[in-house]
Amino acid sequence: MSTTLVPKVILLADDDPDDAEMFALVLSDVDPTVKLHHVKDGLAVFEHLKQPGNQLPDMIFLDINMPEMNGWQCLSMLKGSSRTKDIPVLIYSTSSHSRDKQTATELGATAFITKPSDYKTLRKILSSIAASIGNGVKSTTDKLG
C-alpha cells in the first residue's frame, strides 16, 4: 500500500509583482516541494479558495495594501469563516509600524513579517516557516522577530 503525501501549499496575496517573484524564487530554493499559489489581492484569495479542486492552503501570506480588498479586510473575513479560521495567516508587508503589528494581532494574524529587501534575509525567514508548516508556525515566527 503506497502513501501519497499531500503537498504543502502556501497562498500569497501580493499586488507587487517583484515582491511576489522574489518570494516564489526563494521559496522554491528553500523547499521545492511547497506549492505556491499567488493572487493579487484579498478578493482573489476568496476566488481562489472557492475554485473546485483547490485544497485549502497550509498557510496564507497577506500584503496589507492591495486593490479590491486589502489585507486587513481579507484577514478579518478569513478569521470569521469556520472554513478558514484555523489557517495560519501571516501579514507580509513593507510596513514596520507598531500600529500595523498591533492590528494584525488583534485581527488574528499568526505573525507580522516586514518584507525584507534582500534574498538572504527572505531565505532565512522562509526556511524557518516552510520547515514549520503543520508543526507550530506560531512558535517559529515568534523566534524570527
**How far is it, in rounded angstroms, from Cα 101 to Cα 7?**
30
Radius of gyration of the chain (CA): 14
Assess if residue 31 is contained within a domain.
Answer: yes
Please check whether residue 105 is in contact with residue 93, taking contact to mean a CB–CB distance below 8 angstroms.
no
Assess if residue 109 is contained within a domain.
Answer: yes
Assess if residue 141 is contained within a domain.
Answer: no
Assess if residue 117 is contained within a domain.
Answer: yes
What are the residues whose beta carbons fall under 8 Å from the beta carbon of 84, sequence distance 6 or more? Answer: 49, 56, 78
Say yes or no to pLDDT of 44 above 50.
yes
Identify any residues that bridge with 60 across adjacent strands, giving them in sequence order.
11, 89
**How far is it, in rounded angstroms, from Cα 68 to Cα 40?**
9
Looking at residue 57, which CATH number applies to its domain?
3.40.50.2300
**How far is it, in rounded angstroms, from Cα 113 to Cα 145?**
8
pTM equals 0.87
The pLDDT assigned to 7 comes to: 73
pLDDT in tens, 124-133: 999 988 887 7
Range of the domain at 94: 9-134
The pLDDT assigned to 1 comes to: 45
**How far is it, in rounded angstroms, from Cα 38 to Cα 20?**
7
Assess if residue 41 is contained within a domain.
Answer: yes
Total count of domains within the chain: 1
Assess if residue 139 is contained within a domain.
Answer: no
